[in-house]
Chains A and B, each alone.
Chain A
Amino acid sequence: MKHLLLSLLFVNLFTSTLLAVDASLKIEKDVEQRARIAVVDGSSNEDSRVFSIFLSDLKISGHFLPDTTHHVGDVKSNFIVPALKSQEYIIKYTMSQQGRTSLFVRLIKASDGVELFKKSYAIPSSQKMPFLVHKAVSDINKVLGYPDISWINRYVVYAVYTTPGRSEIRLADYTFNYKKTIIKGGLNLFPKWADAKQRSVYYTSFRGVVPTLYKLNIYNGTKQKIISSEGMMVCSDVSKDGSKLLLTMAPEGQADIFELNLASRAKKRVTNFKGIDVNGRYVEDESRIVFVSNRLGYANVFKKSINSAATSQVVYHGRNNNACDAYGDKIVYTSRESSNAFGGNTFNLYLASSTSSDTRPLTTTGANQFPRFSADGSVILYLKQRAGSTSIGYTNLTSYQSLLFPFTDRKVQAIDW
């Protein structure tokens, strides 16, 4: 028996040590796995903005270690200058923004100058230039066989308050170099993508006596009234196939979560609590949701099946976890960690799971809010406020890469990605 216990202790110690070593090795291995890459600008008018978007895309992918020097050179030549021989790949590009905006890219192997990929991209609007770069980098990533990063091609839709009682809903690329107002005038809030292809958005209009949910096709302007409710009306989540919505409504003056079947118009009450139940998000196979509730006396994240009443607590950390997002079984939530009501306004983000008790911090400083998973769940977008400045942040959950972009709009109300 004594031998058995000693053996178990030894195995336990060995396993713990091995796992601890594995964790540190994993990070080093990740760094080694990233391909060294340089970007060479062959444009007649060099634009540092284009170059910096290339760098951002390559960095946030988690698959490249880009050289941060803005190299200039002939795009057609296969000659690799000695200084770039230490790289694994070279991207050569020309960007022309006269008339229509066009981008030509070549991917070259640095060791022997062999061309691996070339493509031309064009778009009528010069404002949409960032999307050309995003498309080129996601194509290059695909050619090299890395995991998909097509989320960098997606629009971000967000609402900002402009003046008291007024707001605008805007579109942006993920770097916020491209921005366009799509809904202005009045108070229109809580934009949410209606479909995976990002052709339509749901949003709440406060134009009438009660808040009303509309669906807007962002390409042809067609607007459709979906549903209205006294008190509150928010589209919190859309099922993957776009057929069902999770709504926060308050038909009797109490905020609860409902599921609306768009085809049958059937409305199902998912929560029924006299306090606050909001922020419903589909999890796992979409038969369950996570949501924010104050049923324990403070805002926290809970989980329940859509078809049963049993509710379970998901987060056992923090005393004010008032917003969350979900992808599969992954949950990201905001936790307010200020010592007093109006103190440092510290909000940090944590990654949790609907199927286990694992929780890990994603941020440690500033006010980090509005966390949103990318369409593939690999990256989290958030708004960071620190030392008087606001940024849009991204954290790649696989590569641990983080990026911040300056954010100059007024106060954000909601973001979807």
Chain B
Amino acid sequence: MRQQLLLATAMTLLLLNGCSQKTPNMGNVSDSSQISGDTVSIDESGYGNESGNYNSSSDGFKSVYFKFDDYEISSEMQENMNTNISVAMSASAKVKIEGNCDEFGTDEYNYALGLKRAKAVKDSLSAQGVDSSKMVLVSLGESSPVCGDPAESCYERNRRVDIRLVK
């Protein structure tokens, strides 16, 4: 009786295995655990703690981001500024500091706001010992967005100062 039970179980398993070999399951989502759990949503719009994620500067510099209608360098940007101080100190060419804005200003005022941001970065670099005569400012206003989607996460990437060497 026991042998018959073992034989029947073995036959059933073989049969099941045979069936499963015919099923094209390669790459299929057959495990319900893969669809029952919710997927994650991550927010990469924050530039504060993740401050190296976005960068439209070049030559080793890091972009500095600003709040709406604001031109003060926030404490969250200090890490980027530390990098910029170190790169600027050792730069052999002139350093170009470009102020940028989101699309919500008009005419000249927006360009002036971009300039204030660039000036804030220049003053900060200068206070840390970077030679002022080595730096040149330009405001690009809203002319050079790095992101074009109509969303705040996008606008805040455009409110920035980019730094690069004059070549």
Contact = CB atoms under 8 A, between A and B. Distances in A.
Contacts of B145: 164
- Interface range, B side: 35 or more
A302 to B, nearest CB: 13
A150 interface: no
Interface stretch (A59-67, A135-143, A206-214): A206-214
A255 B94 CA distance: 22
B88 interface: no
Interface in B47-77: 68-69
Interface string A309-348: 0000000000000110000000000100000011001010
Contacts of B152: 342
Interface in A215-259: 230-232, 234, 236, 248, 250, 253-255
Contact of B107 (A164, A231, A279): A279
A229 to B, nearest CB: 10
Interface stretch (B6-14, B16-24, B26-34, B136-144): B136-144
Interface residues of A, number: 40
A27 B78 CA distance: 61
Interface in A355-371: 369-370
Contacts of A236: 108
Contacts of A352: none
B81 interface: no
Contacts of B96: 209
Contact of A342 (B104, B105, B122, B138): B104
Contact of A206 (B113, B138, B155): B138
A230 B138 contact: yes
Among B103, B141, B166: residue with most chain A CB under 10 A: B141
A231 B139 contact: yes
Q: Is the interface of B mostly helix, strand, loop or mixed?
A: mixed
A201 interface: no
A248 B94 CA distance: 24
Interface in A280-315: 292, 299
A322 B107 contact: yes
Contacts of A414: 107
A253 B119 contact: yes
A341 B115 contact: no
Given A253-B122, A342-B155, A161 B143 contact: yes
B96 to A, nearest CB: 7
Contacts of A292: 108-109
A250 B117 CA distance: 13
Given A255-B115, A323-B106, A230 B136 contact: yes
Contact of A278 (B112, B142, B143): B112
Contacts of A210: 136, 138
Contacts of B87: none
B143 A279 contact: no
B120 to A, nearest CB: 9
Given A164-B143, A189-B143, A276-B113, A248 B108 contact: yes
Interface in B93-145: 94, 96, 103-113, 115-116, 118-119, 122, 136-145
A164 B101 CA distance: 12
B109 A322 contact: yes
A223 B118 CA distance: 30
Interface string A148-192: 000000000000010011010000000000000000000101100
Contacts of B89: none
A161 B108 CA distance: 15
Contacts of A334: 106
Contact of B111 (A232, A277, A369): A232
A315 to B, nearest CB: 14
Contact of B112 (A167, A209, A230, A232): A232
A375 B103 CA distance: 29
A279 B109 contact: yes
Among B137, B152, B166, find the residue whose CB has the most chain A CB atoms closer than 10 A: B137
6 contacts: A187-B143, A230-B137, A231-B139, A232-B115, A342-B152, A414-B107
